Structure 1
């Protein structure tokens, strides 16, 4: 199959939209196998080139090109069967220029088409033929003939042609067509290389009669040549971050792409920075942005925006371009140390105060807030050698907080001079500045302190069991202000065993009770007491006395009081390890020495087992039972003696001693569980007897002898209602000077008798001649009661003064006691007569201490006066109940019901 190529027409198809000087990328030309000198190969048409500055060059010295684009052979040239290729370049002043590859293809013969153009015709070779080139974005006119395809079989057979593939019967459709008779390949529309870079078409030559193939199928490639019709585009976000105060540091890389042919200059992009050149630089080939100055200060300007341009055709003026804004953010570095707002600070603190905030120190920092470059770390560089101070950072304000952690002593120092440095968590960078420090003066305020012991803790060595009264030492306190011991007294604050006494004036410590090192109050030989010192202003201080109790040999080794030994079933003799204990320390303790007393029963023997134990052995076979064994146990100082223990020889099972008889012992809950059913049965029987024997009947009340069914005199009267003072009738007798406030030295202010009335005090009737001994009168002693006390306790004075209602026969058991009772009764009787004759005219404050006579309150009332009840001197006479009137009628009926 042969192909006819129409190169002159195809090579001159140029898009009007191309801006730069342009020639096609490639050109295929059929030529003789031997090209003579001066043979015109083809003509190159340049588009958008300045004819005045256009310069055409060819790289193969066998050829030359004229200014009009005509290529000629300078010398005879032989074209090999594989063809020959050389480059042609077009360049003007508008840009980088363009390059074209010229491919020479050897042909067999030439024909002319209808227009008279030469058509090369050659025999189709089975190697892949060169592609047919079409310039993208060609605007026509369409349809446009590309080539004529002729098969070698058309010389012998009558054939027709068919074509298939993309652009024909595959998407995109109706792009190409092939004339079935002439084999002319035609294109119908503009092509976009970025969408369809090439088309592969399969052409068949078929017999017109049999429709069978007369030649092998031919694959034709239609390549779409690129034109610079796509601007370069930015890729990714143009946002970068770089530390401040840095030069020659990479900020970031600008990425760009171009959709044009990657094998052309259409995608070769140049990068350019339009502004910000005083701080940044942009590599034109790689797109890398770098800093050029160390004057980038975040505190002055933290964000920079620069314009970046990208242009293809290697940055030629006629190249397509695009611009964008890149944002460069300056990252903070610690180039600003914190600064103090003052040059010095002062604070004050009372002595003996601790864990107290005394000063807040503000600072300023220009670095980024809430970062390690801004957060301040305060350091006390001087004056805190004793650790009295602590400084923290307020997380909200970044201020320094100065605390006193250990109390200060005014007597030791009245002023503390500190030096405080303000630093950051991060180290300084990009600056020559240093951390700042300021002086802080802390004034200690003197206060009146209590005495203090020097030293606060004292230690004394003392032997146990030393005699009482032995002086241990003297522990004194001093006044911090005067440094004197005067006016200080001493007291024990704690002494768990009451072993030590403290002299109140001198602070001398003496033994008051036996000191025992083995006491649980002594821990590891140490016994602590505390002493309190109090000055004249009642301020106090505490000191600690540590007694190191030294051991004495006051404890002998002790063996258990009860021992058990298993009876041996064979002829062997039993033995037992006896362990002794001694609370003393070495050398007053183990190793112990064990022996038998000089006189013993001969049944036992003992020999050492270890330092604290002995082996007790039978000397002869003994039956089960309880024996008394005596052993001498002594410590290494020989202190000890004979000790007696009960030895029980018993039957054993698996080494455990078994009792001969066993019994079950019930605890309190067990006994209660056994007795509970008996109690329940007894209760049930009592209930049955009660229900069977009880019946409803009227119970008669005996109203004789002051039974509880009628109104009775009571000794539990509460204070009555307030009485109108106009109704009180005072006796018109003479009165002597009364004792003001209270009647001191009297037994009880029992009241006074007027002409009309008597009164009951504490359950006893009071008459002109003294007391009516209604319930018996007890013995009594002289006491002092004020008038207010009598008013408060008058309700119960009978039980408090005269006893608890007990008969005097129960109390008075001797003539002396009876005489004492009579003396007291006589005294009370005389006192009451004296008070009954008293008249109070000048000072009415004693009215409540005396018995009053009240006037008749029931004028005009059928009920009469309640006060009438006090007119009856005989408490046993109950006839007045019949004349009480309607006010107490109901109460009387209820009280006398039978």
Structure 2
């Protein structure tokens, strides 16, 4: 075994060992270099005096201990030097158990922080702190024979060598001194000597020393000075390592005589050694949370603290501790991690824990500086409490026929955190709501269960309902073995006096249409739901859109009042509905609906949809038209239809391509353009039908419509001649009017002729040569006869004046007054002047004039019609058709103009005269 000797020897360690050999004991002494990782012993080396001292003075003691251990299987004590903090599993020392035997051997310690392995190794069971004073404990060994032995183990904490108390050493005069070490926070008196700086040049010159830089001429100023002739550096005040951990200034050596540097400038470093003058400071969060009922060792949070002292020294080695030893939490001394020590955290008992945490430096030694802080740990809720009912059962009542009413509130209690999913209740009806009469909701404010009746009850059918309501949470249960709770609920239905009820509520009746009036199609009665009797109930009609049904007040019989027509607009898909009301003796009412299904009968003939058809001529093909028919009846009383020509058809037409509801009508031979009437017989599937007349117009078409028979798109030679003749006639008419208006005679001489005359009408007033004296009526014409002719009374103007209208009628009843523009002026005659005019004209002349005026008035009115083809359609023509498309039409009518006094030319003046007609007939 190696025993270290003189542990403070700087370079070497002398070791003493002992080995047992049969019959003798050999002691070896060797020297080991401190820097060696594995000890190497040199035997027979020249030993220092300390080694001889070990041999002659310590060896006898060593041998004595060895002899005692030979008598016992264990040494009496063990001593080991250990660091201040022992992590779990750290090997402290080893006990040789070989001499005690291994069978049935029991090894224990009186310190639970340490344990002995089977091979005798002593280890730490958990993180253990060894104070500066050290630590002792006993190891007990019991053999199977019952014999007990003990070993005292002494742990000595390693202490760093204090360099501040070391004696000053004199350095060889060289210009490379080691760093100067100074303790921080030194106390007075100042200045204090630190180290001597010396240059090799002092052997050749008389020199002195100066310093400058940080700590001298810079911050911290005047902290260091030097004795010039000695080179002794002095410190003039306390230093704070946390402010200046090291200071480097520059030293210079100069010749006393020349004041020149005799050596190069030398940087001198002053290292400020740390002193434990700063307590730990807490940093980081101090509030944490953990779920209730979590497992042991669940992490809660990490506490952090810092120390401004030198981190390489124990002054900054922080250890954490909870001051409350009964706390349900544990804190790791070095990492500051807080974990749980129990799995019984209950938020409902205590939802917040306040932990007093201590952070102490010097690795937790009692001599270290410390601070405390309060850590808040909030226990988070989990759904480990189910909702509970305050009662064991509940009851409610509801009137029959009531719906959408609240009948019951069910309160519950939940210990979990309010307004969370762990607390919010959700109610479910697990039994009794198979018919869907109930609905259950949760009041979000009170967390109560609300039971509604959504479908009404009938007391005569249901008097009581038993429900079972379960209370759940929005979140699932966890951390508990409980199940959701249920409670029974009894709902009683109360009776009310109800109105009569129809049985059934909707009556379905089948009726054929056209049934005779007064026919009873059904009897619709109601009963009192309490007595199930129809006594005293009267019936009334509420809705009958077509007034087809009468409801018998006393019996409820439904009689036909009017003809029922399935094809009526009141019928939808063959159904016709009426509403009947029943009223009992207490004036309570009930309603029912009668749905009448109307069966069809064959009461409608097929009808041709369009009887006026147009057949357009095409080159080489006579063309065809399609006849469409419809029947308001339904199959089998309607299509397919049969089509055939009537008995009175002339054989010019034939039917082809007959389908269900249509047939094609085609000319049997080439037919000229014109209008044709064809009798067609259409019958339904049952052979019911009639003959109908179809009109077909054959023509040439443009855009699907017929062209006018006498219209032409271009002017022919005869059209040009007709227009020239019309223009000539208009010129002649104007000349005649001018001739009449310019006469200077006192009276107008009208030629006694049957052809009449044309008067000048383009003057706006009488000329110079016009005689303004009133005309004289003929002696044989009385004033009354003039009145009969319709002439106006005096005061309206004179002969030849334009723009005046004289309404009147011919004795035949035809009007003779016209607007005086264009061809004729009407007469404005006063009483005396009328007589003078009538006396100056013969009876035959007046008759001719009136006749021509009436004739021209009719023609002008006729030509004012907007129809393009009407101006030449009113007279029979004996000439051939000359083409189509010409707006002037045919001019063949002009060939009939004979004598110059014949007015027949006025029947075909043509389109040029149309403009004059529109002007003359304008209102």
- Normalising to structure 1: TM-score of the pair? 0.55
Instruction: Decide which moves more: 370-379 or 629-638.
Output: 629-638
Alpha carbons 1:457, 1:545 under 8 Å: kept: yes
Alpha carbons 2:291, 2:382 under 8 Å: kept: yes
Residue aligning to 1:815:
none
> Is 1:478 matched up with 2:518?
no
* CA distance 1:315–1:625, shift in 2 (3 Å): farther
> Is 1:191 matched up with 2:239?
yes
Q: Distance in 2 between matches of 1:576 and 1:312?
A: 118
Q: Distance in 1 between matches of 2:270 and 2:700?
A: 122
3-state SS in 2 of match to 1:266: helix
What pairs up with 1:133-144 in 2 under 5 angstroms?
A: 133-139=181-187, 141-144=189-192
Alpha carbons 1:565, 1:575 under 8 Å: kept: no
* CA distance 1:643–1:74, shift in 2 (3 Å): farther
Alpha carbons 1:240, 1:329 under 8 Å: kept: yes
> Is 1:515 matched up with 2:564?
yes
Compute the displacement of 1:308 (Å): 1.4
> Is 1:330 matched up with 2:330?
no
> Is 1:120 matched up with 2:165?
no
Residue aligning to 1:302:
351
Instruction: Decide which moves more: 601-610 or 185-194.
Output: 601-610
> Is 1:93 matched up with 2:133?
yes
> Is 1:223 matched up with 2:271?
yes
3-state SS in 2 of match to 1:542: strand
Structure with bigger gyration radius: 2
3-state SS in 2 of match to 1:138: coil
Q: Which one of the candidate residues 226, 229, 234 is aligned to 2:282? A: 234
* CA distance 1:650–1:238, shift in 2 (3 Å): farther
> Is 1:417 matched up with 2:466?
yes
How big is each residue's C-alpha offset from its partner over 1:584-639, in whole Å with a ceiling of 9 and x where there is no partner? 44555555555554654556555448755555556667777655455554555555
Instruction: Decide which moves more: 522-531 or 220-229.
Output: 220-229
Residue aligning to 2:112:
none
Q: Distance in 1 between matches of 2:203 and 2:482?
A: 97
Structure 1 segments unaligned to the other structure (5+ residues): 1-26, 39-56, 65-71, 76-86, 104-114, 663-898
* CA distance 1:474–1:102, shift in 2 (3 Å): same
Alpha carbons 2:648, 2:679 under 8 Å: kept: no
3-state SS in 2 of match to 1:234: strand
How big is each residue's C-alpha offset from its partner over 1:700-741, in whole Å with a ceiling of 9 and x where there is no partner? xxxxxxxxxxxxxxxxxxxxxxxxxxxxxxxxxxxxxxxxxx
Alpha carbons 1:166, 1:173 under 8 Å: kept: yes
How big is each residue's C-alpha offset from its partner over 1:128-175, in whole Å with a ceiling of 9 and x where there is no partner? x97544333233544445445556677789998776654455544444
Q: Distance in 2 between matches of 1:159 and 1:621?
A: 156
The structure whose RCO (Cα within 8 Å, separation 6+) is larger is: 1
How big is each residue's C-alpha offset from its partner over 1:292-337, in whole Å with a ceiling of 9 and x where there is no partner? 3344333333333221112122211112111122222333333333
3-state SS in 2 of match to 1:118: coil
Alpha carbons 1:567, 1:624 under 8 Å: kept: no
Q: Distance in 1 between matches of 2:256 and 2:638?
A: 138
What pairs up with 1:585-664 in 2 under 5 angstroms?
A: 585-590=634-639, 592-597=641-646, 599-600=648-649, 605-608=654-657, 612-617=661-666, 627-628=676-677, 630-635=679-684, 638-647=687-696
Compute the displacement of 1:202 (Å): 5.6
Q: Distance in 2 between matches of 1:566 and 1:73?
A: 153
How big is each residue's C-alpha offset from its partner over 1:348-394, in whole Å with a ceiling of 9 and x where there is no partner? 22211222222333333333333333333232222222122223333
Compute the displacement of 1:494 (Å): 1.6
Q: Distance in 1 between matches of 2:395 and 2:12?
A: 109
Alpha carbons 2:13, 2:34 under 8 Å: kept: no
Q: Distance in 2 between matches of 1:178 and 1:636?
A: 142
Alpha carbons 1:477, 1:533 under 8 Å: kept: yes
What pairs up with 1:248-287 in 2 under 5 angstroms?
A: 248=296, 249-275=298-324, 277-287=326-336
> Is 1:342 matched up with 2:391?
yes
3-state SS in 2 of match to 1:314: helix
Residue aligning to 2:475:
426
How big is each residue's C-alpha offset from its partner over 1:812-867, in whole Å with a ceiling of 9 and x where there is no partner? xxxxxxxxxxxxxxxxxxxxxxxxxxxxxxxxxxxxxxxxxxxxxxxxxxxxxxxx
Compute the displacement of 1:119 (Å): 0.7
Q: Distance in 2 between matches of 1:475 and 1:566?
A: 59
Residue aligning to 2:598:
549
> Is 1:402 matched up with 2:454?
no
Q: Distance in 2 between matches of 1:163 and 1:595?
A: 144
Alpha carbons 2:513, 2:598 under 8 Å: kept: yes
What pairs up with 1:864-879 in 2 under 5 angstroms?
A: none
* CA distance 1:93–1:545, shift in 2 (3 Å): same
Q: Distance in 2 between matches of 1:207 and 1:531?
A: 140
Residue aligning to 1:754:
none
Q: Distance in 2 between matches of 1:158 and 1:603?
A: 162
Residue aligning to 1:785:
none
Q: Distance in 1 between matches of 2:652 and 2:254?
A: 143
Residue aligning to 1:488:
537
Q: Distance in 2 between matches of 1:622 and 1:455?
A: 68
What pairs up with 1:341-740 in 2 under 5 angstroms?
A: 341-561=390-610, 563=612, 565=614, 567-568=616-617, 570-576=619-625, 578-590=627-639, 592-597=641-646, 599-600=648-649, 605-608=654-657, 612-617=661-666, 627-628=676-677, 630-635=679-684, 638-647=687-696
3-state SS in 2 of match to 1:429: coil
Residue aligning to 1:829:
none
Q: Distance in 2 between matches of 1:300 and 1:254?
A: 26
Alpha carbons 2:251, 2:267 under 8 Å: kept: yes
Alpha carbons 1:338, 1:435 under 8 Å: kept: yes
* CA distance 1:61–1:338, shift in 2 (3 Å): closer
Q: Distance in 1 between matches of 2:651 and 2:543?
A: 55
Q: Distance in 2 between matches of 1:636 and 1:74?
A: 146
* CA distance 1:197–1:480, shift in 2 (3 Å): same
Q: Distance in 2 between matches of 1:380 and 1:290?
A: 44
Q: Distance in 1 between matches of 2:655 and 2:477?
A: 86
* CA distance 1:222–1:484, shift in 2 (3 Å): same
Structure 2 segments unaligned to the other structure (5+ residues): 1-7, 15-32, 41-47, 52-80, 85-130, 136-155, 712-923
- The Cα RMSD (Å) is 4.6
* CA distance 1:162–1:556, shift in 2 (3 Å): farther
Q: Distance in 2 between matches of 1:472 and 1:152?
A: 146
Q: Distance in 2 between matches of 1:429 and 1:256?
A: 37
3-state SS in 2 of match to 1:298: coil
How big is each residue's C-alpha offset from its partner over 1:657-682, in whole Å with a ceiling of 9 and x where there is no partner? 789999xxxxxxxxxxxxxxxxxxxx
